[in-house]
Amino acid sequence: MTHSSGPRTGRPPTTGIRGMVATSHALASASGYTALRRGGSAVDAAIAANATLCVVYPHMGGLGGDGFWLIADPGNGYRVKALNASGPAAKRADIEFYRQKGYTNAIPSRGALGALTIPGAVDGWREAHQHYGKLEWAELFEDAIYYAQNGFPVGNSLADWTVKDSELMRNYPSAAQIYMPSGKPPRAGERLVNPALAASFKRLAESGPRQGFYEGETASRICQALGSQGSPLQEEDFESFKAQWVEPISVDYQGYTAYEFPPNTQGLAALQILNLIEGFDLQSFGDNSADYYHHMAEAVKLAFADRNAWLSDPEFIDIPLERLLDKAYADERRKLIDPRQAMVMEDVPPGIAPENSTSGSSDHGGDTCYFCTVDDDGLAVSVIQSIFHDFGTVEIAGDTGIILQNRGSFFSLDENHPNRLEPGKRTFHTLIPAMLYREGKPYLVYGSMGGEGQPQTHAAMISRIIDFGYDVQQAIEAPRWLMGRTWGTKVQDLALEGRISDLVANELKRRGQPVKPVEDWNDNMGHAQAIRLNPQTGFLEGGADPRGDGSAIGY
C-alpha cells in the first residue's frame, strides 16, 4: 500500500534512526529525548517524560495516579511484556464504608472520599527501571524537579482545562492556590510553580521509589491529610502495593498482531473492534466515508456491550477472554451490523452475559497522558498514565503538592455489579497502551488519552495506517469520531469532528446514527501519539497529536 495523500495540518512525521520519544507535551518529549541522548534506555526515557508530565500536564497525570506499560523486549525474542501499575482499593474501602457516610448510589468523584485507590504509577516506574533502566534513578527526575521548583509555561491544554474547571477548583482551595494563584485561571504561556511537588520529587529521587513514596514521609503525609477528610487510604495500603507483570492479550489483524492490555483495562474492547472490522472491506468503503464511520460505530457498540458486561479485576471475576476474542465469535457478532440501519447503543446486549450480575457501566470519561519511546537497542515502550478525571480528586494531599486520582469513584456500589467495590480490588480501567507487530517484531507503538475514545482511536489509527496507507502523523491528524459518552454527558452520541463533511454526517443521520458535530480539532477525541519502526527503511517514524501540546523527537 502506498502512502495516502490524505489531509494533514502541515506537520510531517518526525523521523529518527537511533531513538525517538512521542508525548502529549513538548517539554516531556524533551525530557525523554535527553534521557536517550545520555545513554538511557527507552524505559529511562519514558520515566523521565512521565515525571515531567506530572508537573506540566497535572490535569491529565501525576504522582497520585496509575500507569500501564507494554514493553517489547529485543533481549527476549521481542516478547511483549505488560506491567500493571494500577492500585487497588484500600483495605477499609468497601460498600458499607460509603453507605455509612450516606452514599448508596455512587462514590463521590471529587474530594478526599474519591481517593480510595492506591496510586500505582511510581511503583511501575520502579519495576520497569529495575529490569530495563540504564541511568541512575535520580537522573530521571531532574527536569521534573526543575520545572516544579522554578516554573514552566502553561500549555494550551492546561489553560483550557483550568478555565473549564475554575468553579470546581474554587471549592478546593489547596488546588486553586497552585493552579489559579492569582484567583483566576492562568493564560497559556504564564509561569506556574509547584514547590511542594518539587519537594516530593526530591524525596522520590533521593530515597528511591519505595522509601521516597510508598514507605516513607510522602505516603505518611498523603494519608494523614486525606484521612482527616474521610479518605479510607492508610499507610499500610501504600506499603503493601507492588506493580505486577501480567500477560498481554492479542489478535491478528490483516497479517499483523495487535497487542493490548488485559483486564482490568478495556484492551479487550479495542481487540474486539479490530476483529469485527476485519470482516469488512474498508478500502472499498474509503476513508472518511459514511460507510467507514457507520461500520466503525456499530463495531464499537458491540464491543462496548461485552466490555460493560464483563470488565473488572480478573482476580475477582472469571472473564471469558478466549471466547470474547475468538474470530468465530466476532463472525457471529458481526451479523448484527446492518449496513443501512444503526443499532441503539443502550439496547445492544452482550454476546456472552454474566450470570447473576447487573451489567452496564457509568461514565467512562477521564483524562490521561499517553506516550511512547524507542531506543537504539530496539527496546520499544508504550505507556499510559492518568489521575482519571481532569485534576483527579482536585484535592491536594496536604503539603505534598500531589493530587490523588479519583479512579476508585468508578467502582459500583451495586453489590451485583461485576465492578462492585471490594477491598483490594482493582477497578475497571479505560487506560490501554498498545502495540502492533509485524513478522514477530514491533511495527507500531501507539495509544491515546480519552477514556471512552481510546479503543476507537486505536481502531482509527490502525485502519488508516494498515488499510489506507497513511503515515503516522496523517493517521493521528485524520478526522475522528467518538461513539458513546464523553465526560460530563449522559447521552450516547456519535460525535464527529467538523472536518467530516455535512454530506457524510447527514447520511449517518439517515441511517439512524445519533450524530453530534463538534469542533474541527476536538479535545475529547484524545491526544494520540505513535512511533512506527519501519522495517523497509530501518528508520523510526513518529507522530504527536495537534489536539494536544505534544511533539515527537527523534535522532
Active site residues: 368
- The amino acid sitting at 438 is R
CA-to-CA separations, 33 to 18, 40, 69, 174, 553, in angstroms, rounded: 11, 9, 19, 33, 7
Rounded distance between C-alpha atoms, residue 263 and residue 198, angstroms: 34
Do 493 and 433 form a contact (C-beta atoms < 8 A)? Answer: no
DSSP notation for 447-492: EE--GGGHHHHHHHHHIIIIIT---HHHHHHS--EEEE--TT--S-
Give the three cell numbers for residue 9: 495540518
Q: Reduced to 3 states, what is the DSSP secondary structure of residue 192?
A: strand
Helices (H) and strands (E) in the chain, counts: 19, 19
Name the residue among 509, 515, 510 with its Cα closest to residue 492: 515
Give the three cell numbers for residue 217: 514521609
Q: How would you list the strands of the sheet with 515-518, edge to edge?
A: 481-484, 493-497, 515-518
Spatial CB neighbours of 271, under 8 Å, sequence gap ≥ 6: 249, 250, 251, 258, 260, 325
Per DSSP bridges, beta strands 380-386 and 152-153 are unpaired
φ, ψ (nearest 5 deg) of residue 417: -85, 140
- Each as own residue / partner, the long-range contacts of residues 503-506 (CB below 8 Å, 24 or more positions apart, any chain) are 503/290, 504/288, 504/289, 504/290, 504/293
152 has which bridge partners? 192
Name the residue among 200, 225, 257 with its Cα closest to residue 435: 257
End-to-end CA distance of the chain: 27
445 has which bridge partners? 435, 531
